[in-house]
Chains A and B, each alone.
Chain A
Amino acid sequence: MDRRAFMRCVGCTAAVAASQNTFLPRFLGGIQNAMAFDYADQLSSVEARYYKKREGGGVECGICPRHCYVTDLERGYCGVRENRGDIYYTLVYGLACSLNVDPIEKKPLYHFLPRTTALSMATAGCNVNCKFCQNWEISQVRPEQLNNLELPPRALVDICRQRNVPTIAYTYSEPVIFYEYMYDTAELGHKHDIRSVMITGGYIEEKPLADLLPHLDAVKVDLKAIREQYYKDVVDGELQPVLDRLVQIKESGVWLEIVYLVVPTLNDTDAEFRELAQWIKTNLGADTPVHFSRFFPQYLLKNLPPTPENTLQNAHDICQAEGLEFVYLGNLRGHQAESTYCPKCSKMLIGRRGYTIFEYNLDGNLCKFCGREIPGLF
C-alpha cells in the first residue's frame, strides 16, 4: 500500500468514525512525535489563489494584508503556502490536522442554528501569532510537523451528509490560510445543503473575502482588541483591516458574531470596552452579538492570571449600557450572560449552561413572549 492509499484509508476511517459519533481526537498528532513523512507526497500541491508573480522573480501573496513576498522554495508567514518555481502552492489543501463534531455553541455562534452541531476542521498554520493562542500546537507549526488526514472537500461534505451534521465549521487555526480548501468545501457543501461557517481572526484581504462570502452562512470574528498597538504587540497583525472586514461581512448579509478575548492588563480597560461597544453599534449595529471570552494562561502568556469574573461582568455591563443588545460572556460556565434575553421584554429566550441548552423560547425568529424579532438563523 503506498502512502496515498494509506492516507485515503485513514480518511475513510475518519469518516466512519465521525459517522458513528465517535469524536476523533482534536489534535491528531503532536510535533513531539513528528513522523518522517515523505514530504512531497504528504503535502498538497494545489496552486494557491490571489497571488501575483513579481517582476524579477518571487510571488506576492494576496490572501491577507501581509502580502508576503515569497521567493523560490520559501514560504509565507503562515507556513503553509510555498513558492516553487514562482508558482505559489497551498500545502494544506485537503489535509485536515484536526476534526471534530462540536456543538455550534462552541464556536461560539449563539444566533445560528442553536442546538445543532458542526463538523469542525482545521489545517496547520496561521497568519498571525497571538501570544495567547490556545491552539498553537496546530496554528503555529508547519503542516509537515503534524499528522494530517487526507480529507478533500468531498470527504468533508460526505461526513456531514452521512451523520446529518448540518454545518461545516472552519475553525481551530485560521481558515484564511487554507482559503482554497475552505472555499471549495463551502461551495460543494451548499450544493448538498450543508452550511459553512468561518471562525476567523478576520485578517483577510477584501477580494478573497468578497468571493468567499456567498458560500458562507455565518462568520465569527475574533476581534482581539480595539487598539492598534495590541494587534502589533500581542497579535503580530493589524487592527484596521479586521475592522474593515467586519463591516464588509455585515454589509454582505452573512450572519456575524464577534468574540473579544479579555486578557488581563492588556485589553481590559473600561475605555476599551466602551470604545468597542461604540464602534460596533455605529458600524455593525446594536444587534450584532458580542461574546466576551475569559482568558486562561496559554502559549506565550502563561505569566498572566485568568480573567477575573468581575472584569468580564464589567465589559458586559458597559456594552449593554452603550446599547448593544446581545452581549454574552464565555468560558464562564453557569453565568447568566451565557443565555440570550429578549431586548424588548427581557425574558430568557435561550437558556444555556456551557454548550447545553436548557430553555428555548423562540418561535422561529420571534420572542415567544412579546413577538420581538431576534436576528440570526434559528
Chain B
Amino acid sequence: MSRVIVVRWAGGKADFGLDKATYGIMLEAALRALRQTADLDSVIGDMFPRGAIGIKTNCLTRKLNSTPVALADGLAEILTERGVDENNIVVWDRSNRELSEAGFLLNASFTGRRCLGTDTSGVGYSSRFFESGGVNSLVSEILTRTVEHSINLPVLKDHSLAGMSAGMKNMYGAIHNPNKYHGNNCSPYCAHVSNLAPIRSKHRMTILDAVRVQFNGGPGYMAQYIETYAGIIVSADPIACDRVGLEILEHMRKKYGLPTLENDGRPVKYLQPATELGLGESDLSKIELKVLSADQTGSVRDGELY
C-alpha cells in the first residue's frame, strides 16, 4: 500500500501562490502524516541519513507556473532546522537561466544553500549512459555525483503530449536528451526515465505543487486555464503521487466541461508501465490517500480531495 498525503490550505489567499511560512505549515503536516509520527526530527533523520539532498524543480515557465521559490524555501527551512547542513541542500534544474527566470537565486559556492543548473561550469552530464527500456541518456551529475538523496518538487499541470506533467515527467529535466522521448504520449519513456539507476535509487519523495493548477493548455502557461487548488501532494511513491495528481487534474477538467485527457487524445499512459517496473503503485484502490486541511492557526484537520 502506497501512502499519499494531500494537504490543502484553508487559510485563503492562495490565488497568487503561497508564502514560505504557509508552505512550511503544509509540508510539516504532510511529512508527519506520511511517516505517521509527530517527531519531524526522526522523519528527516530517517529519510536523509547523510549526504547532500537534491531538490529538483520544474522551471520551464519562468515565474508564471514553475516550482514556487517559497515551496523550495519552506522545504529547505524544515531540513536545516532538523540539522541538515545548508550547503548540503542543492536546489537544481537543467539550466541556470531557467532557475533564475523562475526567481531562484543561483549559488554554486561552498556556503549557504546551493542552487544551480546542470549547465553550470564544471557540472554537466554523466560520462556514461544510463539505460532503461528504450531510454538511453546521460544524467545530470548533480544527481549522479553531487547528491545522495533526491526530492522531486514538480508542478501539477496539463501537458500537451504526456497528458499530465507531474513528478515523473519532471525528471525529463535530469537527462540530456528529453526531446527524444515525447512520442506515444511519453509512454513508456516517462516510466523508463524514472527507472534510470540514479533517478530511481536516489528518489526519496515527491512533493507535487498543486496550489495553482493549469488544467488545460500546458505545459506552457495559459492564465485562462489556471484553477486554485491550494494543495500539495506528497508521497515517497512517485507513481502514486502522480496518480492522485491525475485525479485532481481530471476533476478540474470535468468541472470546466473539458474532455477527459483520454478523450482529448492525451491519455496518461506511463503510469501502468511504471508500475510494471516496480516504481510504485498506480491503482487507486491500492493507494492509501489521506487528505488534510491546514490553516494559519496551525490546526490540521481532515480535508477533502475536491
Contacts and interface: CB of A to CB of B under 8 A. Distances in A.
Interface of A: 30-40, 57-58, 68-69, 71-79, 83, 129, 140-142, 144-145, 236, 300
A34 B60 contact: no
A39 B95 contact: yes
B220 A71 contact: yes
B120 interface: yes
Contacts of A77: 179-180, 182-183
A79 B179 contact: yes
B117 A142 contact: no
Contacts of B60: 73
A31 B125 contact: yes
Nearest to B95: A39
Interface of B: 60-61, 95-98, 117-125, 127, 129, 136, 138, 160-161, 176-177, 179-180, 182-183, 217-221
A141 B176 contact: yes
A257 to B, nearest CB: 29
A73 B219 contact: yes
Contacts of A36: 96, 117, 119-121
Given A72-B220, A74-B219, A300-B136, A33 B124 contact: yes
A140 B95 contact: no
A113 B289 CA distance: 71
Given A57-B217, A141-B177, A34 B97 contact: no
Contact of B176 (A57, A83, A142, A300): A142
Contacts of B160: 57-58, 69, 71, 74
B177 A34 contact: no
B124 A142 contact: no
Contacts of B136: 300
A30 to B, nearest CB: 8
A71 B163 CA distance: 12
A199 to B, nearest CB: 22
Contacts of B125: 31-32, 34, 145
Given A34-B125, A72-B221, A73-B219, 4 more contacts: A35-B119, A79-B180, A142-B179, A300-B129
B119 A145 contact: yes
Which of B60, B61, B120, B220 gathers the greatest number of chain A CB atoms within 10 Å? B220
A78 B179 contact: yes
Contact of B61 (A73, A141, A236, A300): A73
Contact of A38 (B97, B138, B179, B221): B97
A120 to B, nearest CB: 24
A352 B180 CA distance: 39
A241 B29 CA distance: 57
A30 B60 CA distance: 24
Given A39-B95, A71-B160, A144-B95, A34 B123 contact: yes
Nearest to B180: A129
A145 B140 CA distance: 12
